[in-house]
Amino acid sequence: MTPNERAWLALEGVSVGDTFGERFFGPPEDVFARIVTRQLKQPPWTYTDDTEMAISIYEVLADLGSIDQDVLASRFATRMEMGRGYGQGAYAVLTGIREGRDWRSLTYSGFRGMGSFGNGAAMRVAPVGAYFADQSVTTIAEQARLSAEVTHAHPEGIAGAIAVAVATALAWRQRGTPGPLGNDWIREVRNAVPRGYTFSALGLPANATIIDAAKALGNGSGVTAPDTVPLCLWVAARRSNDFAEALWETVAALGDRDTTCAIVGGILAGVCGTEGIPSDWREARERLPLQPPTAG
């Protein structure tokens, strides 16, 4: 599979996860009832900013073969549609870019000059990890950093993107291996992430429930990378052989469920393959404004 094909597969995972998770917002009692009974809403499943930004990342990689920050910033700003759920910080940065301002001053001016440490860079980055999956972890981490910094300049925001990109690449490398990815995979990811960004997911007991995990690790309710990424890795490590079950477990944590499901979907798409993503979920998802790459 070519880099473009791998990145497209990750984009499929992100977008299906995003649109699946987005369907489960609402009163908690109603949401839990639909999760327990595996009740899906009727299509179309519209996508959010998670997918819209991942599309721009895929495009830049397909066109240029690496992340060019100026081009990516322009693509993000041009593609941004109202009603896709952009966070206040990302909206401000991208609006400023549309007005002709430089992304560097915009992204570093937020959050008292520290930059955003939200989960937005992590939610969209899986195509980067997939594209560079056959290259060094150093290369993957650098490309993830470049993709993140355009809107999320804080070290924690960047670290979240690096974690998901490396997780995606390492998951791809272990495709076809019997059993789940497991804690050894999480340790490999942790070792590639800048110091200060740790994964307490390794300390959870084997019989922990998704509710236990959400309480210990967060579920994205804080919309930060540290509050989001650890739970996603914990689910992916346990449920890597079943895309659908992984997303059902992820959405049961509630929180920022379109983003957590997008992250898990992007990581696991390479493990499960197109055939592992439920075909009815792919058909329900709003059509992507791109054509898949020609098979190489």
Q: Hey, what domains does the chain have and what are their CATH numbers? A: 3-284 (1.10.4080.10)
Q: Which residue in this structure is represented by tokens 């560079």?
A: 132
Residue 47 has pLDDT above 70, yes or no: yes
pTM of the full structure: 0.96
Residues 6+ apart with CB under 8 A from 216: 200, 203, 204, 208
Q: What φ, ψ does residue 57 adopt, rounded to 5°?
A: -65, -45
Residue 116: pLDDT band by 50, 70, 90 thresholds? confident
CA-closest candidate to residue 168, choices 5, 276, 1, 6: 6
User: Looking at residues 158-175, what average pLDDT do you find?
Assistant: 96
| 269 compared with 295, residue with greater pLDDT | 269
Residues 6+ apart with CB under 8 A from 94: 76, 77, 80, 86, 151
DSSP state of 295: P
Residue 13: pLDDT band by 50, 70, 90 thresholds? very high
Structure confidence by residue, pLDDT tens digits, 17-30: 999 999 999 999 99
How many other CB atoms sit within 10 Å of the CB of residue 138? 9
| 111 compared with 89, residue with greater pLDDT | 89
